Amino acid sequence: EEGYPAYLGSRLAQFYERAGRVISLGSDGREGALSAIGAVSPPGGDISEPVSQATLRIVKVFWGLDASLAYKRHFPAINWLTSYSLYTDSLAGWYEKNVAPDWMTLRGQIMRLLQDEAALEEIVRLVGMDALSAPDRLKMEAARSVREDFLHQLAFHEVDTYTSLHKQYRMMQLVLKYFDKSNQALESGADIEKLAGLPVRERIGRFKYVSEDAIDEEYERVLSQMDEELRQSLVKEE
């Protein structure tokens, strides 16, 4: 196919299928895990070519690098809409047991925000942000917080270079609580401009730099500030 050998798929499978759970040689009872991470870089970024397609048929996780994200200085430059993992359902029970019972629920809400943002961006490009309704503008603000405060990571920062699952869980909670509580305030008559400009949003953005031993304390403080600022936004509207 296009000059590629017929055995391309089987050779790739032989490589990737070496990964998995292993029993080590030497002392008895030693088990471990071997991960294989392949970097496929097709000409022009066209993943429809045979090597990319053969790889995607074998592996169960795909991270799609996006040049436009790198140009915007968003790192890691992984496209959250095209990337996927087929292990999500298999690991759901582990996350619920070891991290939080509602981990998968929050993950689903985060993904829906990002997907909705992509759809709304088409409207914004055509007619501008002012054409969006207040709820949709709030959704865009929440999705921006997901991108900039949760997905963006500074590998050279001593704290942000590694983030525990517990901290990721708290970060997701903060972004979604801002979105849910702001929606409630919007329904009660709050102004979208004031909700988008709440000072607590900057504190949510800095949460990624909180040390592991101060996560829960800072989380409660941010929530308290969020509730107070939302209450004040309603008072000023009356």
Question: Which H/E stretch holds residue 217?
Answer: helix 215-237
CATH number at residue 212: 1.10.1140.10
Q: End of a domain among 40, 64, 87? A: 87
pLDDT higher at 146 or 5: 146
State the total domains in the chain.
2
Q: By the 8 A CB rule, do 155 and 78 touch?
A: no
Is 2 contained in some domain?
A: no
Determine the pLDDT at residue 2: 61
Q: How far apart (Å, rounded) are the C-alpha atoms in residues 35 and 59?
A: 11
Two tokens, residue 14: 């032989």
Share the mean pLDDT of the chain: 92
Looking at the fold, whether 222 and 105 belong to one and the same domain comes out as: yes
Looking at the fold, whether 15 and 113 belong to one and the same domain comes out as: no
Q: How far apart (Å, rounded) are the C-alpha atoms in residues 81 and 115?
A: 7
Apex CA 23: angle with CA 14 and CA 55, to 5°? 25
Two tokens, residue 114: 């990002």
Is 204 contained in some domain?
A: yes
Looking at the fold, whether 73 and 100 belong to one and the same domain comes out as: no
Mean of pLDDT values over 140-161: 95
Looking at the fold, whether 222 and 126 belong to one and the same domain comes out as: yes
Is 42 contained in some domain?
A: yes
**pLDDT classification of 238: cutoffs 50, 70, 90:** very low
Domain coverage including residue 16: 7-87
Looking at the fold, whether 71 and 137 belong to one and the same domain comes out as: no
| CA-based radius of gyration for the chain | 22
Looking at the fold, whether 82 and 111 belong to one and the same domain comes out as: no
Determine the pLDDT at residue 237: 44
How do residues 157-207 score in pLDDT, each as one tens digit?
A: 999 999 999 999 999 999 999 999 999 999 999 999 999 999 999 999 999
**pLDDT classification of 25: cutoffs 50, 70, 90:** confident
Q: β-pairing, 61-62 with 31-34?
A: unpaired
Is 205 contained in some domain?
A: yes
Is 101 contained in some domain?
A: yes
Determine the pLDDT at residue 3: 75
Apex CA 13: angle with CA 65 and CA 57, to 5°? 50
Two tokens, residue 55: 């790889």
Q: Which residue has the tokens 């200085």?
A: 73
